[in-house]
Amino acid sequence: MNVLFDNKIIIACSSGSQSNSAITIIRISGTNVLNECQKWFSKKLIFIKPKKMYRTKIILDEQCIDDIMFCFFESPKSYTGEEILELYVHGNVLNVRRIIELFCKSDKIRFAKPGEFTYRAIKNKKLSLTQVEGLDLFLNANNGIALKQGLDILQGNLHQKYVSLYNSFKALKSAFELQIDFLEDVGEESANFQLNSALNDFEYKIKDLYEKTLFNKSYLLAPTVVVIGQTNAGKSTFFNNIIGINRSIVSSTKGTTRDYVSDHISIEGNVFQFIDTAGIRNSNDEIEKEGIKRTQHLMENAFFNIMILNPYETDYHELKKLKIDKIDMLIVSHGDYKDCYEKFRKFENILKMKVYFTNLNESGPIGPDKVSGPIGPDKVSGPIGPDKVSGPIGPDIKNSKYLKDVLFSKIHGKYLKLSENETLFIERQRICISKTYNKYMKFKELLKKNNDLAISLSELAVLENEISQLIGVIPTEELLSDIFNNFCIGK
């Protein structure tokens, strides 16, 4: 981070640096920007006004290399707190690169590091550390909830809660010091009242924040949808049908999928990692055993688990070893077979949930209307068969399109329900809040058990340090480096 401490003017492409576009934004920030850049502008920059659009030519060796629009933001009313010049240039990548290289020929201008504009904003007190972390979350969010929280934090709403907590701590500290130094002046009853009021106020605020850290954030921030089952159940076929391409290898040979295969699915604007896993069975093959171990780990930590069960291939005893309570949706393959339901019935005591019968085969999204030959779901006769399964969906065999719609509806429904939990996503803040809460509870317990005020005062100092970390009073260089490494150049 030391490289960010120089006072040179910085320049970077804020958009359109990787491919051609109609317009690309180039951002320049620093001190005395207008004077330093004047040599490349046909327009006299001394006469321009802040926050107004102007047109100019960019000049190199008395030749126009681009005809652009630009806008000036004065210090300290800019994003970085410095003078900022934004250039709106034609977005051919070669043209953008040529303009940036031209400006960098000056020994007072250099190319910006990732996140350096935001670093200067925090350095010049235009943004708090909390807001910068919110910006990081906003820029890298892959779902609507994280996007909303990132913007909310960037706007300073969460930081105000942290400041309010810090103010409550200062009131608590003052009330405690009153007990030590001015007890005789204010009286014991008045001093105790102030201390208890301060304790209650601080405890209410820290508990409210602490509750936002208790939920597993990965369920919402990086949710995974995992397809599990034993070998030859039809997992890979189902996986390919859902994503619409033959991403996972399909074979009748047991153990074909030895490691997980993943892709992404988007549901109502939220992105989920969709994973096909190795089939679960007893195996002596070390590679396959490792794949099965990974499957179990993925299942344990998944946001949503789908089990594919082939009643003709399923090992009853192995099935009982799985954590069935983790299953969100159960699909029975080979549902078009005449005796499928009869085969399935022995698993009913283990799998007590709604069942979807389908026909999964290697040729794609085939449903019962594609089955050829004299036998199909509409041909099943007698009292035994899938038509005896009860439930709101109905007894018929479902094709892949129907299953996809049901699956996406179930995933979205669970996501909406869990998103009702007000969860804080930023890991540093979660850790700081948890530490602050635990230190406070320790301090509170110490007050009850110990009459030595000096020891309690020492614990209060530890608590103050944790709160200072939370609101960013003492950010470390390593912390700032971790944050800005996630930023794009130009931000």
Tokens representing 187 are: 């009286």
From the CB of residue 242, how many other CB atoms can be counted at a distance below 10 Å? 22
Residue pair 355/344 in contact (Cβ under 8 Å)? The answer is yes
Asked if 486 contacts 140 with a C-beta cutoff of 8 angstroms, the reply is: yes
Give the mean pLDDT of 289-305: 77
CB 34 within 8 A of CB 72: yes
Q: What was the pLDDT predicted at 182?
A: 65
Bigger pLDDT: 317 or 414? 414
Range from 232-246, 253-267, 315-329, 464-478 carrying the lowest mean pLDDT: 253-267
- Could you report the per-residue pLDDT of 265-284, keeping only the tens digit for each? 888 888 898 988 876 655 55
Tell me what the mean pLDDT of segment 329-336 comes to. 79
Condensed to tens digits (0 to 9), the pLDDT of residues 11-64 reads: 888 776 678 889 999 999 999 999 999 999 999 999 999 999 999 999 998 899
Structure tokens belonging to residue 374: 């004299």
Inter-residue contact 435 to 206 (CB < 8 Å): no
Angle at 126 between CA 124 and CA 132, to 5 degrees: 105
**Mean predicted confidence (pLDDT) in 90-119:** 91
* Rounded distance between C-alpha atoms, residue 308 and residue 297, angstroms: 17
pLDDT score for 377:
46
- Report how far apart the first and last C-alpha atoms of the chain are (Å, whole number): 16
Q: How many CA atoms lie within 13 A of 349 on its CB side?
A: 4
Q: Quick count: other Cβ atoms within 10 Å of Cβ 262?
A: 17
The predicted structure's pLDDT at residue 283: 57
Query: Poorest-confidence range of 72-76, 121-125, 195-199, 387-391?
Result: 387-391
The DSSP secondary-structure symbol of 397 reads P
Residues counted in the chain: 491
> CA separation (Å) from 335 to 129, 340, 350, 378?
57, 6, 19, 12
In the predicted structure, residue 491 carries a pLDDT above the cut 70 = no
| Strand runs labelled E in 18-76 | 21-30, 53-60, 63-73
Instruction: Pick the more confident residue, 384 or 48.
Output: 48
**Residue where the block lists tokens 């601080």:** 202
Spatial CA neighbour of 292 closest among 248, 231, 377, 347: 231
Confidence of residue 136 (pLDDT cuts 50, 70, 90): confident
Confidence band for 379, pLDDT divided at 50, 70 and 90: very low
SS3 1: coil
Burial annotation 318-334 (CB, 10 A radius, 16+ → b, else e): ebeebeeeebbbbbbbb
DSSP E strands in 233-384: the ranges are 261-267, 270-276, 304-309, 329-332, 355-357
Taking a C-beta distance cutoff of 8 angstroms, is the pair 313, 350 a contact?
Answer: no
Q: How far, in Å, CA of 414 to CA of 345, rounded?
A: 28
Whole-number mean pLDDT of the chain? 78
Of 187-191, 375-379, 453-457, 462-466, the least confident: 375-379
Q: Which two tokens stand for residue 201?
A: 């106020």
The reported pLDDT for the residue numbered 383 is 44
Q: For residue 366, which of 344, 393, 397 has the smallest C-alpha distance?
A: 397
What domains are there in the chain, each with its CATH number? 2-127 (3.30.1360.120), 130-215+425-471 (1.20.120.430), 223-419 (3.40.50.300)
Q: Which amino acid is at 451?
A: N
* Angle subtended by helix axes 157-181 and 129-140, to nearest 10: 150
pLDDT tens-digit series, residues 413-429 = 988 888 777 788 888 88
| Burial class of residue 113, CB neighbours in 10 A (0-12, 13-18, 19+) | middle
Q: Once rounded to an integer, what is the mean pLDDT over residues 330-334?
A: 81
Residue with tokens 């399109």: 401
| pLDDT at residue number 281 | 55
Q: What is the mean pLDDT of residues 209-218?
A: 85
Q: What is the pLDDT of residue 152?
A: 85
Among residues 24, 23, 69, which one has the least CA distance to residue 43? Answer: 69
Lowest mean pLDDT among 69-73, 163-167, 310-314, 457-461: 310-314
Most distant CA pair in the chain: distance in Å? 99
Instruction: Provide the pLDDT confidence category of residue 450 given band limits of 50, 70 and 90.
Output: low
Is residue 336 very low, low, confident or very high in pLDDT (cuts 50, 70, 90)? Answer: low
What does R_g of the chain's alpha carbons equal in angstroms? 31
* Model confidence pLDDT, tens digit, residues 51-90: 999 999 999 988 999 999 999 999 999 999 999 999 999 9
| Residue 242 contacts residue 274 (beta carbons within 8 Å) | yes
The whole-angstrom separation of Cα 181 and Cα 179 is 6
What CA dihedral angle connects 395, 400, 406 and 411, to 10 degrees?
140
Does the bond joining 76 to the residue before it have cis omega, within 30 degrees of 0? yes
| Among 307, 228, 300, 215, CA closest to 260 | 228
